[in-house]
């Protein structure tokens, strides 16, 4: 059986993506780092709708934890594989670069960029063996245009976009696609501390986006209909940056 694994799926965009993939009939593995209660609520919502969901806690930034978690899941599912991987986990530690501590630089890159590397590398083999797979990376408007106060976040997301384009070329012949979505300002916990009225004035659409709108794009990229799309970055930003 082909499963979907969504990192950082206990809330926000990750939660919406998990629900969207489950609605397509995929059994979903919900990854989270610490908020088990929130992750379990997502799983309960999926199963209540007739879907299948499992929890798989690990820190994507820790290569040993990634290896141990995937190994444990694989041993428990000898006839299954992860055919859809959504690298969504990410954190923000915003600051002007001149005031940015080393740990805020490293933690943001470790989660977004190194987390993508550790987990994707581990799961690629089975996708290539099965001659099919979907990898969708959640990038950001910040990685496309850069945002002041987010040098670390912009660097991590821009690197993720570059990795998306490179990996897409490596695995295309085995029918594995690699794409990214780049959300702009989306109504989530990560934007609740921002002045939304000021943001709305900047966005041509006049509003913030929703997590469901991001999830819809991810759901399409994960589907069979997107088999000839790879190495692309889809912006979901209300026209703020195109």
CATH for 95: 3.40.50.720
The dihedral region occupied by 106, where left means phi > 0, alpha psi between -120 and 50, and beta the remainder, is: alpha
> Choosing from 32, 153, 228, 241, which is the catalytic residue?
153
Taking only the tens place, the pLDDT of each residue in 165-181 is: 999 999 999 999 999 99
242 domain-assigned: no
The average pLDDT across 191-210 equals 87
**Per-chain mean pLDDT for the chain:** 96
142 domain-assigned: yes
- Map the chain to HEC letters: CEEEEECCCCCHHHHHHHHHHHHCCCCEEEEECCCHHHHHHHHHHHHHCCCCEEEEECCCCCHHHHHHHHHHHHHHCCCCEEEEEEECCCCCCCECHHHCCHHHHHHHHHHHHHHHHHHHHHHHHHHHHCCCEEEEEECCHHHHHCCCCEHHHHHHHHHHHHHHHHHHHHHHHHCEEEEEEEECCECCCCCCCCCHHHHHHHCCCCCCECHHHHHHHHHHHHCHHHCCCCCCEEEECCCCCC
CA proximity to 4, closest of 99, 116, 112, 135: 135
Position 191 scores a pLDDT of 73
Taking only the tens place, the pLDDT of each residue in 12-65 is: 999 999 999 999 999 999 999 999 999 999 999 999 999 999 999 999 999 999
241 domain-assigned: no
How many domains does the chain divide into?
Answer: 1
- In this prediction the pTM is 0.96
54 domain-assigned: yes
User: Is the predicted pLDDT of residue 242 greater than 70, yes or no?
Assistant: no
203 domain-assigned: yes
Taking only the tens place, the pLDDT of each residue in 86-115 is: 999 999 999 999 999 999 999 999 999 999
128 domain-assigned: yes
Among this protein's residues, is 228 annotated catalytic? Answer: no
Residue 193's domain comprises 2-236
């Amino acid at each position: 059986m082909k499963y979907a694994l969504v990192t950082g799926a206990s809330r926000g965009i990750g939660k919406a993506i998990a629900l969207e993939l489950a609605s397509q009939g995929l059994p979903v593995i919900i990854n989270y780092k610490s908020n088990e209660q929130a992750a379990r609520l997502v799983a309960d919502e999926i199963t209540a709708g007739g879907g299948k969901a499992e929890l798989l806690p690990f820190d994507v930034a820790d290569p040993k934890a990634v290896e141990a978690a995937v190994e444990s899941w694989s041993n428990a599912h000898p006839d299954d594989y992860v055919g859809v991987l959504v690298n969504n986990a990410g954190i923000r530690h915003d600051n002007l670069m001149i005031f940015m501590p080393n740990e805020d630089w490293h933690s943001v890159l470790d989660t977004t960029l190194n987390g993508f590397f550790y987990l994707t590398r581990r799961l690629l083999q089975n996708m290539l063996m099965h001659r099919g797979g979907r990898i969708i990376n959640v990038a950001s408007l910040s990685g496309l245009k850069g945002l002041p106060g987010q040098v670390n976040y912009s660097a991590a997301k821009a690197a993720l976009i570059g990795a998306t384009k490179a990996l897409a070329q490596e695995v295309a012949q085995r029918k594995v696609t690699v794409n990214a979505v780049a959300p702009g300002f989306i109504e989530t916990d990560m934007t609740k501390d921002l002045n939304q009225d000021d943001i709305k004035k900047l966005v041509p659409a006049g509003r913030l986006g929703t997590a469901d709108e991001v999830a819809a794009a991810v759901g399409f990229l994960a589907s069979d209909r997107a088999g000839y799309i790879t190495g692309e970055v889809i912006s979901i930003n209300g026209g703020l940056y195109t």
